[in-house]
Amino acid sequence: MATTTVFAGARVVLPTGTVDGGRVIVEGTRIAGSAAPDAPVVDVSGHWLVPGFVDMHTHGGGGGSFSVGTVEEILKAVHTHRTHGTTTIVTSTVTDDLDVLAQRAGLLSELAEQGDIAGIHFEGPFISPHRKGAHSESLLRDPDPAEVAKLVDAARGQARMMTLATELPGGTDSVRLLAERGVIAAIGHTDATYEQTVEAIDAGATVATHLFNAMPQLGHRLPGPVAALLEDERITVELINDGTHLHPASLQLAFHHAGPERVAFITDAMDAAGFGDGRYLLGPLEVDVTDGVARLVEGGAIAGSTLTLDRAFKRAVTVDRLPVEHAVQALCANPARLLGVDDQVGSLDPGKYADFVLLDDTFDVKGVMRHGEWVVRPELG
């Protein structure tokens, strides 16, 4: 029989709101709806208890890369993010040769099948050379539906999302193919017009890859993709809330227009997340990380982030002054829904995995539980 433990006294954030002095019951790997009267009780008073974070866009961490790392390095990166509260993670690749990406998808799919990761996000190579960011221009290509299908097939049912510049030849047809295959078509690294973006949304795109970054900015005569992505209720917008990728006013603008139900905080993290400054590789490109900011050695473009989701959460509620419930929605429920795993994670409902984060009153991580096991064991009195 599975062991039952009651965690009591925290401010528990539920889909219906925050409960002061609430209880979360863990039975084995799952959250339970009730417990026996003699079940052990752990006092977590003075803490926030929130669902485990879900990151649907990240490239690595802890010194390990999801694009080029060994299995050991990938698992080290996954563990690094778990210690910062991310209990569900999708591994993102960067632009490379198509055969290399297919091979990498095969390796990552094995980890997904084992339950170590929640799937694969292909960011590139089907993106615009005009908005390439930290992607190798020589390896970029138009989104041929046959090549898109090759990568999806290589992922063996574990492809969760693909970022496309949908205005390129084959872009709209590729969006349709992805939608038919149950893979999220994300608009990003794009030079699309407003009208082209609307066309892609109508074809089945549902996510904006790191909104505002690597796309034309909002204009009063040429509104571009930002306006189309914010106004359409079918689109969820990714935001990198690290203080480098977005000004607080831009974040507030996104929340105002999209609402908390259409925002997903991501890290877009590279190897240096949770590891430190230095020189790294992002795919084939060299990156220098200085004071936690990652930039390409050649050209100086921002190259992902060193963010972890606990920092994104803390910044959201302390700097951006978002309600805790809205931050939880953006870090947990929304990405879980998009990934199709909201029956298992994303909230503290009974029946779901016992994935949660304990935060102190300054919103620093004090404990992380995943599937009923401590990743970070809290020091409780």
pLDDT tens sequence across 256-284:
999 999 999 999 998 888 887 888 777 77
Average confidence (pLDDT) over 200-229: 97
Q: Which residues pair with 48 in a beta bridge?
A: 11, 359
Q: Percentage of the chain with pLDDT > 70?
A: 99
Average pLDDT over all residues of the chain: 95
What is the rounded distance in angstroms from the CA atom of residue 325 to the CA atom of residue 348? 13
CA distances from 139 to 124, 132, 142, 352 (A): 9, 11, 10, 41
- Window from 39-53, 230-244, 262-276 with minimum mean pLDDT: 262-276
- 208 pLDDT higher than 90: yes
37 versus 367: the higher-pLDDT residue is 367
Confidence bin at 1 (pLDDT 50/70/90): low
What angle in degrees, to the nearest 10, is found between the helix axes of 224-231 and 248-258? Answer: 40
- Say how many CA atoms lie within 13 Å of 11 toward its Cβ: 12
CA distances from 94 to 25, 67, 140, 349, 372 (A): 40, 6, 11, 35, 33
pLDDT of residue 278: 85
For this structure, is 268 an active site residue?
Answer: yes
Is the Cβ–Cβ distance between 304 and 298 less than 8 Å? Answer: no
Short-list 62, 130, 159, 332, CA closest to 324: 332
Average confidence (pLDDT) over 206-215: 97
Average confidence (pLDDT) over 148-157: 98
What is the rounded distance in angstroms from the CA atom of residue 190 to the CA atom of residue 110? 31
Average confidence (pLDDT) over 81-87: 98
Residue ranges of domains in the chain, CATH in brackets: 4-50+347-376 (2.30.40.10), 53-339 (3.20.20.140)
Average confidence (pLDDT) over 215-221: 94
Q: Which residues pair with 55 in a beta bridge?
A: 89
What is the rounded distance in angstroms from the CA atom of residue 254 to the CA atom of residue 332? 18
pLDDT of residue 292: 83
Round the CA-based radius of gyration of the chain to a whole number and report it. 20
Catalytic hit among 191, 232, 268, 271: 268
- 381 pLDDT higher than 70: no
- 163 pLDDT higher than 70: yes
pLDDT tens sequence across 335-359:
999 999 999 999 999 999 999 999 9
Bond into 225 cis (ω within 30): no
